[in-house]
Amino acid sequence: MFEFIRSHRRWMQFILLILIVPSFFLVGIQGYDSFMSREPELATVAGQPISRAEFDQAHRNQLDQFRQRLGAQFDPAVIDTPALREGLLNQLINQRLLANVAADNRFSVSDETLRNTIAAIPEVQDNGRFSPERYRQVLAAQGMSPTSFEAGLRRDLAIARVLEPVGQSARAPAEVVAAVDSALTQARTVQLRNFSAADFRSQVTVTPADIQAWYDANKQQLQVPEQVQVQYLVLDEAAATQGVQVKDEDLAAYYEQNKNRFGQPERRRASHIFFELPSGSEDARKAARAKAEDVAKQAAADPAKFAELAAQNSQDSGSAAKGGDLGWIAPGAQAGPLDKAIFGLAQNQVSGVVESPFGLHILKVTEISPAAIKPLAEVKDQITAEVRKQIAAQRFSEMASQLNKQVYDQRDSLQPAADAVGLKLRTASGVTREGLLPAEKAGPGSAADSPDAALLDNPRVRQVLFSPDVLREKQNSGVIELSPDTMVAVRVAAVEPAHVPPLDKVSEVIRGKLLDERSAEAAKKAGEAALAANKANPAATEGFGPAITVTRQNPQDLSRQVLDAVMRLPSGTLPAFTGVQSGVDYTLVRLEKVEAGKAEAADKERLAQQLAGAWGQAENEALIRMLREQYEVNITPAAADVIRGDQAQAAG
Segments making up each domain of the chain, as ranges: 1-33, 38-186+598-651, 187-197+506-595, 227-245+383-496, 263-373
- Is the confidence at residue 15, as pLDDT, over 50? no
Domain 263-373 belongs in CATH node 3.10.50.40: yes
pLDDT of residue 94: 85
Average pLDDT, integer, range 516-539? 93
Whether residue 109 is predicted with pLDDT greater than 80 in this model: the reply is no
Summary mean pLDDT of the chain: 84
Task: Say what the pLDDT of residue 645 is.
Answer: 76
HSE-CB at 113 with a 13 A cutoff on CA atoms is 12
pTM for the whole structure: 0.52
pLDDT (tens digit per residue) in 151-177 = 888 877 777 777 776 666 667 777 777
Higher pLDDT, 150 or 429: 429
Lowest mean pLDDT of 140-144, 338-342, 506-510, name the range: 140-144
Higher-confidence residue of 347 and 136: namely 347
Q: Which residues pair with 322 in a beta bridge?
A: none
Phi, psi for residue 187 in degrees, rounded to 5: -105, 135
In this prediction, residue 429 has a pLDDT band, given cuts at 50, 70 and 90, of very high
pLDDT at 419 over 90: yes
pLDDT the model gives residue 402 = 93
pLDDT at 72: 65
- Highest averaged pLDDT of the listed ranges 28-32, 493-497, 608-612: 493-497
* Residue-wise DSSP of 249-273: HHHHHHHHHTGGGGEE--EEEEEEE
Inter-residue long-range contacts of 312-319, CB under 8 Å, 24+ positions, other chains counted? 313/273, 313/275, 314/272, 314/273, 314/274, 314/275, 315/274, 315/275, 315/276, 315/359, 316/272, 316/274, 319/271, 319/272, 319/274
| In 192-349, alpha helices (H) | 208-217, 219-222, 237-241, 248-257, 282-301, 306-313, 317-320, 336-342
Q: Are 426 and 233 in contact (CB under 8 A)?
A: yes
Q: Which residue did the predictor score with more confidence, 611 or 555?
A: 555
The yes-or-no verdict on residue 112 having pLDDT over 50 is yes
Amino acid at 159: I
Query: What architecture is domain 38-186+598-651?
Result: Orthogonal Bundle (1.10)
Percent over 90 (pLDDT), the chain? 35
* Helix axes of 111-119 and 146-169: crossing angle, nearest 10 degrees: 100
Q: What share of the chain is helix, strand, coil (3-state, %, to 5)?
A: 55, 20, 25
pLDDT tens per residue across span 277-290: 887 778 888 889 99
Out of 218-232, 540-554, 613-627, which region has the weakest mean confidence (pLDDT)?
613-627
pLDDT(14) > 70: no
User: What's the pLDDT band for 606 if we cut at 50, 70, 90?
Assistant: confident
